[in-house]
Amino acid sequence: MLQISSKPPKKTILILFTKASLNILPFFDIEEKKTIQNKLNDGMQIISFNKTQKNYFLIPIEIDVTKKEDSVNEKFRILGNSIFKTLKENKETEVSVEVLGDLSKEYLASILLGINLSEYEFLKYRTKPKAYGLTVSIDALLLDEASVNELNLITESVRITKDLVNEPVSFLTAAQYSKEIQKIGEAAGFSVIVLDQKEIEAEQMGGVIAVNLGSSAPATFNILEYKPKKALNEAPLVLVGKGVVFDTGGLSLKPTRNSMDMMKSDMAGSAAVVGAMYAIAKAKLPYHVIGLIPAVENRPGYEAICPGDVITMYNGTTVEVLDTDAEGRLILADALHYAKRYNPELVLDFATLTGSALRAIGKEASVVMGTAEKTIKKKIKKAANSTGERIIEFPLWDEYGDYMKSDIADLKNLGPMDAGAITAGKFLEHFIDYPWMHFDIAGPAYVSSNYNYRGKWSTAYGVRLLFKFVQNQCKDVSTKTEN
């Protein structure tokens, strides 16, 4: 946790200093400075020093001016993770931050965010949880209170998303997921309407119904809305998220190792929507945002949908379900159709949709495609780069659409072996009539080993990107209206 404090520094002091400012380091005499210099020359990233009953952690800051600001920010978030690990090893629980030399507030914030995000642990199922907590105090002259609060809010929103994703399905059924979303909505100030299985059936959401057929637990369809009094956007921004609380593949069963064992994370797209809406609502951003989350469990069972079955989607399209493991597109399609009623300015969907996206780019970015205009794509890219939640755009050429035509129905849910991320995107495109971008986050959403400040398991990919995007939208719209 970060906090503003004007009190005298704690027993442990973190000194961030540029190399040029080594000579003006207070607290140290010439001999000590020499030792520090030697350690610096050895390339040490963090130099610890005990003196007059205080612990100093000296962090040399190097800013590569040839690098883009975005990559410097990412480097500093990762540095924050190294600092955190050192403080944890030393069992430090309270530290004060000092800055010497030229370090912009933005870069300082990145280091602090890296430290703050590193604190996350998922301890719910430990009978003897050993939680380690760190409080970092900083003078308001170094970083204003609003910025510090924002860093804490981002960290909290990321935590909310991670907790949801890391929950196994033994607890987080679709119905339980809806309850959690309702609690989060109440805490943040957005409304949540939950359609239950009966209402989903009455609405004839054929995709959602079909995917959940093999499960004995009911599906839900969640409608989240944050509508501030003076919203800057006339038509809402709609965020759609894939909420498969577990994906066994259904009758097209997945193999166990490295495949099915991580599939409690198949609702990561929707959890990113929840975390982002928490941040947006808590920050009281003047922006109207709606979240749509179809939540289901994809299981084999007597009632389960069979390969070859033809279903009728919410919008009336018929789909031949050739592979029951391609279920994400079926529930997203219904949610995308639902979104039309809002005449949205833009719809963004987040989904752990294809292994193809994961294989194409690994955990380093999401695979993105869509119909939004260039300026919007640019803004999304900007938010993605500045948060380190990078994206890469894939094409939606017409040819790929032909791959999804069925002999027996309007569409099939399975394309050829190749270009799987794109054919999934092409399938979704069939259900939209508004500017839209699709984020296939199968790569970056969930990792099995530590990934710097992102941690292991859920990374909460998308939360920071979405918050930044909406923040930037607010700035852009308000400057436009001023002119």
Which one of the spans 124-132, 338-346, 347-355, 474-482 is the region binding ligand BES (CB under 6 A)? 347-355
The one-letter code for the residue type at 209 is I
The one-letter code for the residue type at 424 is A
Nearer to ligand BES, 92 or 320 (CB): 320
Minimum CB separation of residue 355 from Zn ion in Å reads 9
Nearer to ligand BES, 167 or 327 (CB): 327
Q: Which of 358, 384, 470, 474 binds ligand BES (CB under 6 A)?
A: 358
Residues 322-351 contacting Zn ion, CB under 5 A: 325, 327-328
Catalytic residue among 39, 54, 179, 254: 254
- Chain mean position to CA 372: 21
- Chain mean position to CA 356: 20
The site partner of 323 among ligand BES, Zn ion, none (C-beta below 5 to 8 Å per kind) is ligand BES
In whole angstroms, what is the distance from residue 366 CA to residue 157 CA? 20
Told to check if 352 binds ligand BES by CB under 6 A, we report yes
Considering Cα of 416, then 350, then 442, then 170, what sign does the dihedral take? negative
In whole angstroms, what is the distance from residue 438 CA to residue 373 CA? 13
The site partner of 147 among Zn ion, ligand BES, none (C-beta below 5 to 8 Å per kind) is none
Per-residue binding letters, 188-227, with Zn ion (x by CB under 5 A): ----------------------------------------
Nearer to ligand BES, 295 or 470 (CB): 295
Which one of the spans 58-66, 72-80, 319-327, 473-481 is the region binding Zn ion (CB under 5 A)? 319-327
In whole angstroms, what is the distance from residue 470 CA to residue 478 CA? 12
The site partner of 358 among Zn ion, ligand BES, none (C-beta below 5 to 8 Å per kind) is ligand BES
Nearer to ligand BES, 80 or 415 (CB): 415
Minimum CB separation of residue 369 from ligand BES in Å reads 15
Told to check if 321 binds ligand BES by CB under 6 A, we report no
Q: Which of 208, 239, 326, 360 binds ligand BES (CB under 6 A)?
A: 326
Told to check if 266 binds ligand BES by CB under 6 A, we report yes
The site partner of 354 among Zn ion, ligand BES, none (C-beta below 5 to 8 Å per kind) is ligand BES
Residues 432-471 contacting ligand BES, CB under 6 A: 442
Told to check if 297 binds Zn ion by CB under 5 A, we report no
User: Does 85 participate in catalysis according to the annotation?
Assistant: no
Task: Find the radius of gyration of the CA atoms of the chain.
Answer: 24
Considering Cα of 384, then 389, then 390, then 396, what sign does the dihedral take? negative
Q: Please answer whether residues 333 and 430 qualify as being in contact, where contact means their C-beta atoms are separated by less than 8 angstroms.
A: yes
Contacts of 118-125 with C-beta under 8 Å, sequence gap 24+, read: 118/80, 118/81, 118/84, 118/85, 118/453, 118/455, 119/1, 119/84, 119/155, 120/155, 120/158, 120/159, 120/162, 120/455, 122/162, 122/163, 122/166, 122/457, 124/163, 124/167
Nearer to ligand BES, 274 or 326 (CB): 326
Told to check if 247 binds Zn ion by CB under 5 A, we report yes
Q: Which of 247, 320, 334, 349 binds ligand BES (CB under 6 A)?
A: 247
The site partner of 163 among Zn ion, ligand BES, none (C-beta below 5 to 8 Å per kind) is none
Told to check if 266 binds Zn ion by CB under 5 A, we report yes
Q: Which of 94, 139, 201, 323 binds ligand BES (CB under 6 A)?
A: 323
User: Does 390 participate in catalysis according to the annotation?
Assistant: no
Told to check if 98 binds ligand BES by CB under 6 A, we report no
Told to check if 269 binds Zn ion by CB under 5 A, we report no
Residues that bind ligand BES (CB under 6 A): 247, 266, 323, 325-328, 352-356, 358, 414, 420, 442
Hey, which residues are catalytic here? 254, 329
User: Residues in the site for Zn ion, rule: CB under 5 A?
Assistant: 244, 247, 266, 325, 327-328
